[in-house]
């Protein structure tokens, strides 16, 4: 059994760890509230914009949607991998890296795949196995629509000039603080509406023409889609970190209680031994 000093040192160390994990949990909880409100408010707008664009594109010929809707033979694929810059968030980053490798194995095993990294952790893990053409880890320093729009424009250019035949976004979708769902979402070309037919409505009055509306909506829709994905991932990161730090605090508390029990038992045993030695010495003197 470890001596009393060693146990005391371990208890002190665990108490320090508990303070750190508890503080990180509270910080993540505060950031999560703001991030959750942002993504919750944005989802309806993003979904409706995408739905409108798909409906309009489906009623036009293939050229009307511009270069962003051109379907090409898939020879080169770009995966935009959205992870975090920091760790201590449970399986948040590992779930994305696993999803990337799974997607490549199941869909693109015979295709050239490159990565566009957003977040240091994903790049650090996947760069050992795949080619990373660029990383934008700085986006979290100031996560705004305008800054994300710059990245979206670059991705659109890479598709239009033929550098890649398909671009997908891999990110964690926020469900709640304890649950994040890995998603693989097609970015380009614009995904046609499911079922192959557009939902037309005679109440719609198009001004200007459908073609002009589609050409104006496409860049905005794509920028919004990427911004929503990064926002989703951002909220998921704080939720995952809050949950991980909560579990770490609980585990540290349990370990501290076990060590305190061990310490008290060892201390009581030491006191008992001292009493026995004193009694034994007194008996020896009497004899």
Question: Can you give the pLDDT at residue 130?
Answer: 92
Question: Can you give the pLDDT at residue 192?
Answer: 66
Which of 33-42, 47-56, 265-274 is most confident?
Answer: 33-42
Alpha carbon 236 to chain centroid distance?
Answer: 5
End-to-end CA distance of the chain: 35
Least confident range of 22-26, 165-169, 174-178, 235-239: 174-178
What is the pLDDT confidence band of residue 194, given thresholds at 50, 70 and 90?
low
Residue 159 a catalytic site member: no
Which helix (H) or strand (E) segment holds residue 272: the answer is helix 210-286
Question: Can you give the pLDDT at residue 203?
Answer: 62
Question: Can you give the pLDDT at residue 144?
Answer: 93
Residue 216 has pLDDT above 90, yes or no: no
Of 51 and 38, the structure prediction assigns the larger pLDDT to 38
Question: Can you give the pLDDT at residue 206?
Answer: 72
pLDDT tens profile 224-252? 999 999 999 999 999 999 999 999 999 99
Q: Which fold has domain 21-244?
A: Pyruvate Kinase; Chain: A, domain 1 (3.40.1380)
Residue 58 has pLDDT above 70, yes or no: no
User: Beta strands of the chain (E only): which ranges?
Assistant: 76-82, 112-118, 131-135, 166-176, 179-188
For the chain, give every domain's residue range.
Answer: 21-244
Residue 231: which residues within 8 A CB-CB, separation 6 or more?
35, 38, 39, 42, 143
Question: Can you give the pLDDT at residue 204?
Answer: 66
Q: Catalytic one among 81, 89, 230, 245?
A: 89
What is the pLDDT confidence band of residue 281, given thresholds at 50, 70 and 90?
confident
Cα 234-240-243 angle, rounded to 5 deg:
145
């Amino acid at each position: 059994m470890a001596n009393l000093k060693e146990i005391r040192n371990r208890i002190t160390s665990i108490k320090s760890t508990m303070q750190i994990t508890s503080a990180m949990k509270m910080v993540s909880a505060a950031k999560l509230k703001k991030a959750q409100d942002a993504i919750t408010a944005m989802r309806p707008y993003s979904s409706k914009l995408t739905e409108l664009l798909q409906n309009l594109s489906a009623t036009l010929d293939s050229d009307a949607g511009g270069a962003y809707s051109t379907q090409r033979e898939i020879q080169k694929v770009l995966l935009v991998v959205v992870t975090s810059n920091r760790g201590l968030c449970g399986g948040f980053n590992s779930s994305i890296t696993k999803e990337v490798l799974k997607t490549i194995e199941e869909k693109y095993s015979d295709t050239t795949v490159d990565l566009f990294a957003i977040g240091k952790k994903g790049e650090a893990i996947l760069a050992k196995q795949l080619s990373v053409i660029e990383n934008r880890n700085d986006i979290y320093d100031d996560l705004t629509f305008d800054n994300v729009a710059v990245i979206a424009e670059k991705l659109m250019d890479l598709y239009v000039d033929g550098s890649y035949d398909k671009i997908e976004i891999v990110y964690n979708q926020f469900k709640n603080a304890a649950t994040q769902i890995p998603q693989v979402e097609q970015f380009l070309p614009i995904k046609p509406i499911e079922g192959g037919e557009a939902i037309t409505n005679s109440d719609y009055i198009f001004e200007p023409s459908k073609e002009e509306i589609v050409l104006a909506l496409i860049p905005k829709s794509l920028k919004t889609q990427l911004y929503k994905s990064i926002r989703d991932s951002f909220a998921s990161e704080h939720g995952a970190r809050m949950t991980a730090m909560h579990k770490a605090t609980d585990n540290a508390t349990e370990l501290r209680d076990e060590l305190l029990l061990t310490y008290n038992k060892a201390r009581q045993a030491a006191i008992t031994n001292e009493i026995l030695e004193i009694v034994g010495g007194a008996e020896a003197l009497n004899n």
